[in-house]
Amino acid sequence: MPKRMSEAEAIVSFQLKLRERGIFDHALLQAFELTPRKDFLEERFNDVAETDIALPLPCGQTQAAPTSIARMITALDVGPGDRVLEIGTGSGYATALIARMALSVTTLERYRALAEAAKKRLARPSLGTIAVWHADGTHGYPEEAPYDRIILHGSIESEPASLIDQLTPGGSVVAILRVGQVSEITRWRRAVTGRVLEIDHFGRLDLPKIIPGLSESL
């Protein structure tokens, strides 16, 4: 019977797997190291928390595989002075990773149960400034705009115009752009002057479509 890895060995193995999949950003790797995934999942998933697979969340939602989250955050290009808007809090795992790299994070979750659970998990001084809101993030959160970075954990089918309007000059939005059968990580960067956009793609990734509306009951 193979020996079971210790938690420290599992974290090292997890880090190596991220590097093998092309994740080399030091700040992001450190954020993963400081943020155990099992803390953002139900206890029954402890044995597979350090595995690079998507896992189920309450309310019929899914926490993406760590490398998928890492690819999205890499495209976001977060810096220590950035104010970030996140759409789709889920368990709060990606929120915690981003918070370790940014100045502050405002995160929106349409399911009340997920938002309340994430708020408890993210109430740690070491994570810095995080505001969790039960809100429909389809059109962003203009109440606290502008933002330096906006990330949507899901797919859309056209330019996110209302989100781009909430960016600072030089700011960017990252989401999955789905055109026909092709879904790609896409970044829309706003020009320093005016609204001219620079659009970049970072490879294929398929995530569920962003659903508008608010769930009060779940």
Q: What is the pLDDT of residues 44-72, one digit of tens each?
A: 999 999 889 999 999 999 999 999 999 99
Domain ranges of the chain: 7-204
pLDDT number for residue 211: 75
Instruction: Name the DSSP letter for residue 111.
Output: B
203, 38, 111, 138: CA torsion to nearest 10: -20
* Amino acid identity for residue 61 in this structure: Q
On the question of a cis peptide bond just before residue 146, with omega within 30 degrees of 0, the verdict is yes
Model confidence over 159-191: pLDDT tens digits?
A: 999 999 999 999 999 999 999 999 999 999 999
Name the average pLDDT for the chain. 91
Tokens 């909430």 belong to which residue?
166
In this predicted model, what pLDDT tens digit does every residue of 199-209 receive, in sequence order? 999 999 988 88
Question: pTM of the full predicted structure?
Answer: 0.91
pLDDT category of residue 1 using cuts at 50, 70 and 90: very low
What pLDDT, on the 0 to 100 scale, is given for residue 95?
98
The whole-number pLDDT of residue 208 equals 84
pLDDT value for 179: 93
Q: Rounded to whole angstroms, how far apart are CA atoms 35 and 39? A: 8
Pairing of strands 83-87, 104-109: parallel
Name the superfamily (CATH) of residues 7-204: Vaccinia Virus protein VP39 (3.40.50.150)
